[in-house]
Chains A and B, each alone.
Chain A
Amino acid sequence: MARQLQPGPSPTSVLTARGVARGLRQLLPISLFVVPFGLAFGIAATEQGLGALQATVMSVLVFTAVAQFAALEFLTEPVAYVSLGLVVLALSARNIILGATLARWINPLPPGKRLLTLAFLTDANFSVAHSDLQRGETDLGPFLGGGIALWTAWVAGTALGAYGDLIGNAEAFGVSAAMPCFFAATVVGTLRSTSGLMVPVACAIAVSALTYPVLPTGWNIILAALVGGALSLLTNDK
């Protein structure tokens, strides 16, 4: 994966309302695909014992599909806060790379706008906006607008799933399988797009399964992630 991390000369960036509107329109089609995920999360969260409002508020304030799904596993008394934090951190670590890649356009903005823009950082609006920025675009509005479109769809989907009585018996819809199926598909997608991760991921799976019976809640996943991360440092795909 050859993302440009070198800072280079900082372009003069702007954040315009017109750009935000363009981003909203640009990411609207992709956002529609986010609604079913939100729906699945809303149902899964209420199945886990969260209130409909609690599930929706989580989507409003956290806005990250994978880590929110994963967090549900930890929302039982007593809550293993350290494991929860570490798993969420490992699942969100990609954001650090995305943010670093956008830094040369985002850092010239005033602090308030910088924070606002980064709060809506996700894979989808990053990949759309980054290619435009590399072609000379200086407006971060489309990036922010895209993020707002995705956030709206995620929150709307969650609320629909959490409040919707239309669902009836959630188990009849295979809701408990939504999260593992989504995760498995994500891994397959990553393995296809990024070379050199097959061995680290296979080892992570083995470590997770083998250490599950002996480690406290969530620590098998953290150990497996660290093993996978360390092994991906050693693998050379060139």
Chain B
Amino acid sequence: MISELSYGLALGVMIVVVLGTRIAGAVFMSWFTPSPGIERFLEGLAASVIAALVASFLVTNDVKLTAAVVCAILTMLATRNVVWAMLIGMLAAALHPHLVQL
């Protein structure tokens, strides 16, 4: 639970940062051409930050979440569909307590 003020400030930070990234590429291009190195750095950054978030979740959470994430990864490998992977992962988390009791 956060205060209205904190929510407003956080929302402001998000709006500025996200809109900034949407506009920045086109603006930069009117000044200079980004090198392939910068492109690779940004790609690596984007993939790494998501992977790091997942790792952070897994070290702070329980077996249930790990099982759900493993199911999501396997589903993604099998179907290449992010929506299915998320739904199957959620299903695994929802069913986990019932399966453990059996």
Residues of A within 8 A of B (CB): 1, 3, 5-7, 33, 36-37, 40, 49-50, 54, 57-58, 61-64, 66-68, 70-71, 73-79, 81, 84-85, 87-104, 106-107, 114-115, 118-119, 121, 171-192, 194, 196-197, 200-201, 203-209, 212, 220-222, 224-233
Give 8 CB contacts A-B under 8 Å: A75-B2, A75-B6, A177-B69, A180-B53, A206-B55, A208-B51, A232-B43, A232-B48
CB atoms of A66 and B50 under 8 A apart: yes
CB atoms of A178 and B90 under 8 A apart: yes
Q: A96-B42, A114-B26, A118-B23 are in contact. Are A33 and B83 (CB under 8 A)?
A: yes
Partner of A95, one of B21, B52, B89: B21
Q: How far is the CA of A100 from the CA of B22 in the complex (A)?
A: 9
CB atoms of B45 and A81 under 8 A apart: no
0 or 1 for each of B80-94: is its CB under 8 Å from A? (1 = yes):
101101111111111
CB atoms of B47 and A190 under 8 A apart: yes
Q: How far is the CA of A185 from the CA of B34 in the complex (A)?
A: 29
CB atoms of B7 and A75 under 8 A apart: yes
CB atoms of A40 and B53 under 8 A apart: no
Q: A33-B83, A88-B17, A95-B18 are in contact. Are A172 and B94 (CB under 8 A)?
A: yes
Q: How far is the CA of A183 from the CA of B76 in the complex (A)?
A: 11
Q: Nearest chain A CB to B13's CB is how many angstroms away?
A: 5
CB atoms of A177 and B68 under 8 A apart: yes
CB atoms of A64 and B28 under 8 A apart: no
Closest 6 CB pairs of A and B: A228-B48, A99-B25, A232-B44, A181-B89, A174-B93, A103-B29
CB atoms of B50 and A67 under 8 A apart: no
CB atoms of A225 and B45 under 8 A apart: yes
Partner of A185, one of B2, B15, B75: B75
CB atoms of A221 and B52 under 8 A apart: yes
What residues of chain A lie closer than 8 Å to B80, measured between beta carbons? 189, 192
> Which secondary structure characterizes the binding site on chain B?
helix
CB atoms of B24 and A177 under 8 A apart: no
Q: How far is the CA of A124 from the CA of B50 in the complex (A)?
A: 18
Q: How far is the CA of A118 from the CA of B71 in the complex (A)?
A: 36
CB atoms of A61 and B11 under 8 A apart: yes
CB atoms of B29 and A187 under 8 A apart: no
CB atoms of A229 and B44 under 8 A apart: yes
Q: How far is the CA of A13 from the CA of B48 in the complex (A)?
A: 35
Q: How far is the CA of A87 from the CA of B43 in the complex (A)?
A: 15
- Of chain B, the residue at the smallest CB distance from A237 is B40
Q: How far is the CA of A220 from the CA of B86 in the complex (A)?
A: 25
- Of chain B, the residue at the smallest CB distance from A105 is B26
Partner of B55, one of A78, A95, A115, A224: A224
Q: How far is the CA of A203 from the CA of B75 in the complex (A)?
A: 23
5 A-B pairs besides A204-B51, A208-B55 with CB distance below 8 A are A75-B7, A85-B14, A178-B89, A187-B54, A220-B52
Q: A92-B21, A173-B94, A177-B90 are in contact. Are A85 and B13 (CB under 8 A)?
A: yes
Residues facing A in B49-86 (CB within 8 A) are 49-61, 64-65, 68-69, 71-73, 75-77, 80, 82-83, 85-86
Q: Nearest chain B CB to A35's CB is how many angstroms away?
A: 10
CB atoms of A37 and B83 under 8 A apart: yes
